[in-house]
Amino acid sequence: MRWVWIRHGETDSNREHRYLGHSDVPLNIDGKRQASELAERLSGQIERPDALYASDLLRCMETAQPLADVWDVPIISVPALRELSFGDWELLTYDELMQADCERATRWYDDPFHCCPPNGESLQALGHRVDGWLCKLMDRQQREPNETTVLVAHGGVIRWFQAAWLAKDPRQYWQVDGLKHGEALFAEWDGQRWHRQRLGS
């Protein structure tokens, strides 16, 4: 069983270092270029996958489209693969957040697993959402162990997979080497555990 994780291309909000969770913004010019270049690179490294899943947010769907085109596979949108919701803090920069809500923001930084932005999610909630969907995917794929699945998602979701599934320690969420925009991560299940390998350069 093989999963290819892809982080969506860059958006203007990413470039401006804003907290971008469930806000539905498009890729910028560089993000579209990253998506196209990644699709061209992966088309030479991976045969047509058995499934292509993507977060239903626009930046992931736009990143997935060139992949769908080169492999001729449909995109299956998955709300469970959305980024962490920053709630009322969506699209703020760090400085703006600290000016607007310093006390609560400090508590959140100190314990993001249990604290959450107002009307947003904790890392624990993100993990519960992602784990629930991934476990169902694994259960289905155990019957087809040679399947290759591509998942286009967000930095936070991929970090969770790296920490909780690869390192088997969610507390390593901030210690793992996260993916850059338009970058891919290959993971393979050997029947007992997941192993990782970066694809391409």
Locate 87 and state its tokens: 């709630």
CA distances from 69 to 40, 63, 199 (A): 10, 11, 20
| Candidate list 10, 62, 83, 121, residue with the active-site label | 83
| 22 flagged as catalytic | no
| Identified catalytic residue from 8, 10, 121, 154 | 8
Torsions phi, psi for 200 (to 5 deg): 65, -175
List all residues 6 or more positions away from 133 whose beta carbon is below 8 Å from its beta carbon: 78, 80, 81
In angstroms, the CA 124 to CA 156 distance is 12
Distance set, CA 58 to CA 10, 12, 68, 107 (Å): 12, 13, 15, 31
**Is 96 marked active-site?**
no
- Say whether 7 sits in a helix, a strand or coil: strand
Would you name the residues annotated as active-site residues? 8, 83
